[in-house]
Structure 1
Amino acid sequence: MAKSTSQYVCTECGWTGAKWFGRCPECGQWGTIEEFHEARPSKRGTGGGTGSGGRRTQASVVSAQAQAQPISQVSTSDMDRLSTGFEEFDRVLGGGIVPGSVILVAGEPGIGKSTLLLETAGNVSRSASGSVLYISGEESQAQVRMRASRVGAIDDALLLAATTDLGTVLGLIEQTKPALAIVDSAQTITSQDVDGISGGSTQVREVASALIDLAKTYDIPIMLVGHVTKDGAIAGPRTLEHLVDVVCQFEGDSQTALRMLHAAKNRFGPTDEVGCFDMSGQGIEEVTDPSGLFLSTSEAPVEGTCVTFTLDGHRSLPIEVQALVTNSVLPTPRRNTNGIDANRLAMLAAVLYRHGRVNLLTKDLYVSTIAGGLAKEPGCDLAIVAALASASSSKPIAKTTCAIGEISLTGQVRPVPQLAHRINEAARLGFTRAIVPTRRTGRRPEPVPGLEVVEVSTLADALGALYLR
């Protein structure tokens, strides 16, 4: 007979515990702890139960179903990847969808997860030999059909279903045997075999385990949509991310159309790739070359601007930093930032005063990037300081000049990782001059055709190379 135990779960973050709290210990929300009863499955045995007969039966089943063999003899001929129809998505996945894999795509509400997977379903249904099954637990079939018409994902091989019952989901997948199955979302599907609220840790764990077992049994790839909590973590138990094969984070600023897809976990490829997408009224379009997204279109040099190159996975992206310096009428000058760490700006202003002889401590400083770009890595320090010095002295920096380097509290310009990759991208985009840190050890980098590389070791030398002293 199954035993029942009383537990408590947070409806906001999925925390579970054996004691009730008025405030969730995990997310700090009040009044979100609810009681539920989790059923524990009874021990099942064959023949002798837990005795020697049961152990012999279990051993015979294992020997009949799985045989150990040398790894060199394991065939991978049936592991041809399935293309999603997006080159950016395929690169993040490591070359495409692996048969039998389970992929979790998580992101904030309204970021475009369902739209991305619906377009992926349309692309796969038009190219693959089999059908594609799209199961929605949040919308009806008519609502999904309206969105599919808008994004151009209408195809006879794309099958739609709307249900929140796990047994129905498993039955549909077993019946149709699709080339790809998409479940939107994992937090809305519930199992009748276990207790717990929809989206709770018990239900999410049961749903994920059942779908993973089905994917491995029938060699059907399954994509899951995952919700996130207020702090950006994937809702549900942490074991969900351990169970699936690939975890993708779909990120972006709601004020801009740019979307980034990162692989936080990938058993079949690298985790440092990033895919760029553009959100529009007609759906999501991939951006194969995002180099011009974060640069202004002005051809004439403008004071207070400087371009740097930041790394996002294997991709080097140019980021234009813009700065505005004005006289302050307040006792405490303003420090407003967008896409830049405010604490980093305060430190760089102090270093610029102490080692660059540029006094901005009594000025209002406004520093921003373009189109939602992020310049928060240390390698962007030199460009931020250059933009501030340019705005303060009213001396523009040439549009074909970029600055890359980290600045320490002592005024030293420190090296940054993968500098050669950054300057090669700068040369490809037409930059003719790059201010970079001095190489301390190892052989000097090979010259880049068409690009003058100026190495500096101190902040004062960098300002001199930019003609801002």
Structure 2
Amino acid sequence: MKDGKLKTVYVCSNCGETSPRWMGRCPSCGEWNTMVEDVVVPEPKSAARKAAGARPAGVTSLVADRLSSISTTEEKSRIVTGISELDRVLGGGVVLGSVVLLGGEPGAGKSTLLLQLCGAISRQHEVLYITGEESTRQIKLRANRLKVAQENISLAAETEIDEICGLIEQAKPELVVIDSIQTMHSSDVSSSAGSVSQVKECTARLLAVAKAHEIPTFIVGHVNKDGAIAGPKVMEHIVDTVLYFEGDKTLPYRVLRAAKNRYGSTNEIGMFDMTGSGLAEIENPSQLLLEGRPLGTSGNCVACTMEGTRPILSEVQALVTKSSFNVPRRTASGFDFNRANLLVAVLEKRAGYFFGSLDVYLNIVGGLQLDETACDLSVCLAMVSSLLDQPIGDKTVAIGEVGLGGEVRSVTFLETRLREAQRIGFNKAIVPKHNLKQLNVKEFYGLELVGVSYLREAINAIK
């Protein structure tokens, strides 16, 4: 092949694996129909040799700073956005020079969230908003609807990455928003916008500018049909933070979750309510998720899960009914399906409740995903309550992990969970007996703590 000649390769849009020919299945990640054609221009060998021999040995303009001389004070390294739910997920604010990738389903509210972020920060800092999907007039109309401050926000509709980087270096704003990375393209890459090569090259250039000038940059990324951010995985590796904006389209609630965060925990979540005037913060999610729940109905139990440092009370619903099929159905929404089957087996073997010919349906109200084992006890009690058609007390919360032997095991942050239940107004809590040894029961005035060691004891406590 001659120097400078175009070369066609096939790149996996899921993991970035390259192949000289098309394949139906990626040999690296195993995904089907993800190999897309890409055209690259290889660097001439003569130019590469010339560049390698142009620098004399031991000569460089690079200067290294001593680690002890670099400042890390919070007031100099972070920008507090003023949106507390976003600051919580980011770890206390936006770190200078950080690159944040925000993904989510179409219509989830990504652009709305970032425009409100620009309005909150622009009261004290200069902001540059680059749009590749809308015109500046459309952004203006949305800003008027959201009633955001507009004095220190600059808008530009551009998709050429070199022009964008030049504008950033010239204007030197204190925050940059790119909406979205799939619409950006570089003239040095011959493929079309949104391809693996273009997304990777544009992200790398924005990262270089952000690090060189310490300008925090937010990048909007589209998602594929599986919910993951579209484009090569290397894009998620090189950025500092990856955020997912999730939410059921039938519900107004939105959850902001960090999948990667170099400057904070990935366990924190932020909750928002989509209203006609934009996204509103939900500062008390427990109260919101428990509103309107049926009282005096069997099959309902309240669980408490920890999302980072925040305890959230959520309602667990179970429906156990006679099956009309030879093989009974098992479904779980918001709870791990395999874990639910495990708990059904424990109830049959250790507690003596038969579910073999019955359908079991589990639902977590509010769209939350309860991945924590501390919610096992509330799921078991909800299933038994539905099986016996016996309601659990409306002011009762159950916390505990259930083992294969039917034992109720200790959980972490029990005191924090009980404080939340006490604040909401619950008067009874079924908890692991081993945890009670570490608590001062007198501090939980008005909250009856029932310690149990086995699942049978917990079931007897609700009868």
Fold shared by both chains (TM-score > 0.5): yes
Does residue 1:452 correspond to 2:448, yes or no?
A: yes
**Correspondences of 1:170-181 after superposition (within 5 Å):** 170-181=165-176
Deviation digits for residues 146-204 of structure 1 (CA, Å, limit 9, x no counterpart): 32232223513222211211122112222322221100111221111123232223222
1:146 to 1:37, Cα distance in 2 relative to 1, 3 A = same
Matched with 1:321 is 316
1:330 to 1:245, Cα distance in 2 relative to 1, 3 A = closer
Does the 8 Å CA contact 2:10/2:35 hold for their aligned counterparts? Answer: no
1:30 to 1:449, Cα distance in 2 relative to 1, 3 A = closer
1:465 to 1:162, Cα distance in 2 relative to 1, 3 A = same
1:170 to 1:387, Cα distance in 2 relative to 1, 3 A = same
Query: Match for 1:68 among 65, 74, 84?
Result: 65
Deviation digits for residues 121-167 of structure 1 (CA, Å, limit 9, x no counterpart): 12222x1243x111111222233223223222351322221121112
Question: C-alpha displacement at 1:298, in angstroms?
Answer: 5.0
Question: C-alpha displacement at 1:31, in angstroms?
Answer: 7.9
1:110 to 1:38, Cα distance in 2 relative to 1, 3 A = farther
Could you tell me how far apart the structure 1 residues matched to 2:437 and 2:354 are? 37
Does residue 1:34 correspond to 2:31, yes or no?
A: no
Deviation digits for residues 250-299 of structure 1 (CA, Å, limit 9, x no counterpart): 22222222212122222322332211111223221111121123214358
Does residue 1:195 correspond to 2:197, yes or no?
A: no
Does the 8 Å CA contact 2:15/2:234 hold for their aligned counterparts? Answer: no
The alignment's TM-score, normalised by the length of structure 2, stands at 0.90
SS in 1 for 2:229: coil
Of residues 157-166 and 196-205 in structure 1, the stretch that sits farther from structure 2 once superposed is 196-205
Matched with 1:404 is 399
**Correspondences of 1:40-439 after superposition (within 5 Å):** 40=43, 50-51=52-53, 54-56=55-57, 59-62=59-62, 66-69=63-66, 71-76=67-72, 79-125=76-122, 127-130=123-126, 132-153=127-148, 155-298=150-293, 300-439=295-434
- Percent identity reads 41
Deviation digits for residues 195-246 of structure 1 (CA, Å, limit 9, x no counterpart): 3232223222211121112112222221111222333332222222222222
Could you tell me how far apart the structure 2 residues matched to 1:139 and 1:172 are? 18
Could you tell me how far apart the structure 1 residues matched to 2:33 and 2:52 are? 45
Could you tell me how far apart the structure 2 residues matched to 1:414 and 1:34 are? 53
Q: 5+ residue gaps in structure 1?
A: none
Deviation digits for residues 346-396 of structure 1 (CA, Å, limit 9, x no counterpart): 332232222222223222333222221223432222111111221222322
Question: C-alpha displacement at 1:423, in angstroms?
Answer: 2.0
Of residues 442-451 and 425-434 in structure 1, the stretch that sits farther from structure 2 once superposed is 442-451
Question: C-alpha displacement at 1:86, in angstroms?
Answer: 0.6
Could you tell me how far apart the structure 1 residues matched to 2:83 and 2:380 are? 38
1:103 to 1:41, Cα distance in 2 relative to 1, 3 A = farther
Deviation digits for residues 316-347 of structure 1 (CA, Å, limit 9, x no counterpart): 11111122233333333333332223333333
Of residues 458-467 and 231-240 in structure 1, the stretch that sits farther from structure 2 once superposed is 231-240
1:128 to 1:138, Cα distance in 2 relative to 1, 3 A = same
Could you tell me how far apart the structure 1 residues matched to 2:71 and 2:371 are? 45
Matched residue count: 456
Query: Match for 1:461 among 428, 438, 457?
Result: 457
Question: C-alpha displacement at 1:105, in angstroms?
Answer: 1.2
Does the 8 Å CA contact 1:128/1:179 hold for their aligned counterparts? Answer: no
Of residues 413-422 and 107-116 in structure 1, the stretch that sits farther from structure 2 once superposed is 413-422
The alignment's TM-score, normalised by the length of structure 1, stands at 0.88
SS in 2 for 1:40: coil
1:338 to 1:60, Cα distance in 2 relative to 1, 3 A = closer
Of residues 87-96 and 37-46 in structure 1, the stretch that sits farther from structure 2 once superposed is 37-46
Does the 8 Å CA contact 1:14/1:235 hold for their aligned counterparts? Answer: no
SS in 2 for 1:210: helix
Q: 5+ residue gaps in structure 2?
A: none
Does the 8 Å CA contact 1:9/1:200 hold for their aligned counterparts? Answer: no
1:272 to 1:298, Cα distance in 2 relative to 1, 3 A = closer
